[in-house]
Each structure stands twice: as C-alpha cells, then as structure tokens.
Amino acid sequence: MASATPAMTDPAEAPWLTLPALRAAWKVVKDNKGVAGGDGVTIARFRLQLDTNLLALQDEVRAGTYTPGPARRTRLRMGDKWREITVLPVRDRVL
C-alpha cells in the first residue's frame, strides 16, 4: 500500500532553494513592502547584504540548522476595525 504522505525532498536538492529561486522569492517579499519582523530587520537592511543573507539562509536550510526568527504581533486599522496580525522576519518570508 502506498503511503498517504508524500516523501520529503532533500533540502540540498530542492528547486526552491537555489539562489535564483531565493532571489525571485526575495523580489516578492520586497514588492510587498512589508515591515520588520521581531528581529527588527527591515527590507532595506536585508537588501544591503542580499546575497550574503540569501546564501546564509540557503546554507542553514541545507545543513538542517534553519530555525525561524522571532515573530512580531501588531495591530492594523482596516476601515473602522482593528486587526491583529503576526509579522515574520524578512528572511523567513523569503522561504
């Protein structure tokens, strides 16, 4: 009987973990113009060392040492109501 759970892809060979794929994901994050997560790193600051940050993220995932950074809770006014949201660090949004 076949397993109902799909096999996990080895992160070292995952197509979404290539540098071009991470750069494309970065562009989506940047274009969303979000704010800093719980680590305080803004999109502008992340961009200052973009390749270094993307390569470090890639290395951590491949080595199995990646852990998500701290999230930040904040409130946004949407019309006449307030909405509470969680903001992930920029590096986590890239993944």
What mean pLDDT do residues 81-85 have? 94
- Name the pLDDT band for 5 (thresholds 50, 70, 90): very low
44 pLDDT higher than 80? yes
What mean pLDDT do residues 45-73 have? 95
Q: Which residue has the higher pLDDT, 76 or 9?
A: 76
* Nearest CA-CA partner of 53 in 19, 30, 28, 24: 19
48 pLDDT higher than 60? yes
Evaluate if pTM is beyond 0.85: no
State the DSSP string of 10-62: PGGG-GGGSHHHHHHHHHHHHHTT----TT---HHHHHHTHHHHHHHHHHHHH
- Name the pLDDT band for 6 (thresholds 50, 70, 90): very low
